[in-house]
């Protein structure tokens, strides 16, 4: 059984309770990061340090290249210098250029002291950049499903280890088909019912809380995590959105940082060992 950790549940900018987009799936073979916003800094927490020590390799799966999804890439050498690291992204699918070319534009002099594309000397056990294409991919020993999604710049939905990750896109039937039968669905919930009723302009590029709940119900997933949360909403407003989503799909939670969700993956025969958690830092645990 794999385990999902929320490291960054906000879109756009961090807040005291939530950093920007990053989720970690721990398996017996690897730590899989879904996006790499500044939420990756949460790996400094003692709970996550224990996880890092348990896995030999790291796979970073990028949904697209907006800053709140990649701004933590420069932190990877700090956490994973002794690991085998693979970064995979949908380059041609969403930008017209391959992933390595896009990352070369983001991470090179004078923005970074060492270009991301030359990190093979930084990670002692190996480093590679891999192109994700629509459909089924085999990356670093993992099966990764990818679907192209509409957004201000296109994004990619990702499914790996029975976790479906649908961020930075609208609510649409294709997402339910893509997430069918997943253990956990992480879905964009940038807007609430109030903004939807007002016809907010962001409805052309983002999801809603209750829309995500409808997708989760139709897909028959076990758990829904409302992600890419709006930093303009206060906690009371977010709780109202959560309550509305739970009316449609009861097994829903907000992407509060350090939330832990068990992933009932078909690929893991035995549960992972329990993490030595700081109870004050963990929002909730999986069922």
Structure letter (DSSP) for residue 161: T
Average pLDDT, the chain: 92
The answer to whether residue 271 sits within a structural domain is: no
Model confidence at 253: pLDDT above 50? yes
Query: Can you spell out the DSSP letters for 171-222?
Result: --HHHHHHTTT-SEEEEE--B-HHHHHTT-GGGGT--BHHHHHHHHHHHT-S
Q: What pLDDT shows up at residue 167?
A: 98
Model confidence at 61: pLDDT above 60? yes
The answer to whether residue 276 sits within a structural domain is: no
The answer to whether residue 274 sits within a structural domain is: no
The answer to whether residue 42 sits within a structural domain is: yes
**The two three-digit tokens of residue 130, written as one number:** 């891999």
Q: What pLDDT shows up at residue 266?
A: 63
Q: What pLDDT shows up at residue 274?
A: 54
The answer to whether residue 275 sits within a structural domain is: no
The answer to whether residue 199 sits within a structural domain is: yes
State the CATH number of the domain containing residue 105: 3.60.15.10
Model confidence at 52: pLDDT above 60? yes
Mean pLDDT of 248-275: 81
| The total number of structural domains that make up the chain | 1
Q: What pLDDT shows up at residue 269?
A: 45
Q: Residue 137 belongs to what domain range? A: 2-263
Mean pLDDT of 142-163: 97
pLDDT tens digits for range 205-228: 999 999 999 999 999 999 999 999
Confidence of residue 110 (pLDDT cuts 50, 70, 90): confident
């Amino acid at each position: 059984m794999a385990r999902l950790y929320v490291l960054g549940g906000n879109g756009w900018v961090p807040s005291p309770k939530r950093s920007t987009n990053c989720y970690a799936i721990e398996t017996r073979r690897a730590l899989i990061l879904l996006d790499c916003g500044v939420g990756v800094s949460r790996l400094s927490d003692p709970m996550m340090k224990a996880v890092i020590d348990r896995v030999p390799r790291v796979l970073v799966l990028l949904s697209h290249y907006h800053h709140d999804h990649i701004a933590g890439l420069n932190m990877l050498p700090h956490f994973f210098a002794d690991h085998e690291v693979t970064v995979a992204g949908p380059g041609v699918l969403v930008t017209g250029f391959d992933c390595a070319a896009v990352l070369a534009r983001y991470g090179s002099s004078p923005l970074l002291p060492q270009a991301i594309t030359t990190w093979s000397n930084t990670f002692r056990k190996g480093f590679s950049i891999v192109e994700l294409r629509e459909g089924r991919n085999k990356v670093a020993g993992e099966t990764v499903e990818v679907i192209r999604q509409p957004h201000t710049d296109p994004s990619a939905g990702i499914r790996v280890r029975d976790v479906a990750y649908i961020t930075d896109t609208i609510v649409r039937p294709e997402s339910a088909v893509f997430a069918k039968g997943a253990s956990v669905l992480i879905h964009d919930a940038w807007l609430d019912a109030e903004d939807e009723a007002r016809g907010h302009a962001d409805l052309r590029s983002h999801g809603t809380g209750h829309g995500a709940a409808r997708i989760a119900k139709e897909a028959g997933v076990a758990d829904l995590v409302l992600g890419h949360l709006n930093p303009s909403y206060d906690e009371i407003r977010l709780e109202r959105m959560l309550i509305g989503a739970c009316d449609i799909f009861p097994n829903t939670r907000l992407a509060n940082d350090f939330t832990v969700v068990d992933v009932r993956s078909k690929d893991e025969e035995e549960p992972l060992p329990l993490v030595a958690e700081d109870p004050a830092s963990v929002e909730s645990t999986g069922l």
